[in-house]
Amino acid sequence: MRTDRPGNNKAMTKIEFKNASGPLSEYATKARKDPVVVYKAGKPFAAVIPIRNADEETLALSTNRKFLKIIKKSRARVKKEGAISASELRRRLDLRK
């Protein structure tokens, strides 16, 4: 394993897939401080990262391709058609905060 500091990014530990033979607990413990990125053929393949301020549902959605596709489509629509603020939505629905 080696620790790199690319640009201004936080330190990360890089390990080649074929050399990643340690127990998962070792990488998870290391990831509490810095992400552990596993490379395969010189390209990022997997990562062990600390989870801070996120619950299980947030984690599941942030890695769900179907959900990410919905978000991407929604953002494109907002960019094209515009959006309204939450306060404007409440006003239109006659909701009081």
Tell me if 17 is assigned to some domain: yes
- Is residue 97 in a domain? no
What pLDDT is attached to residue 48?
93
- Of 42, 43, 34, 32, the closest CA to residue 13 belongs to 34
Same domain, 40 and 17: yes
pLDDT of residue 83: 94
pLDDT at 50: 87
CATH number of the domain encompassing residue 35:
3.40.1620
Region of 23 on the Ramachandran plot (φ > 0 left; ψ -120 to 50 alpha; else beta) = beta
Per-residue model confidence as pLDDT tens digits over 26-79: 999 999 988 999 999 999 999 999 888 889 999 899 989 999 999 999 999 999
Domain interval for residue 60: 56-92
Are 13 and 44 found together in one domain? yes
What value does the mean pLDDT take over residues 13-22?
93
Are 47 and 37 contacting, i.e. CB atoms less than 8 angstroms apart? Answer: yes
Number of domains in the chain: 2
pTM for the structure as a whole = 0.57
The answer to whether residues 36 and 27 touch, using CB atoms and an 8 Å cutoff, is yes
> Do 64 and 39 lie in a common domain?
no
42 and 25: one domain?
yes
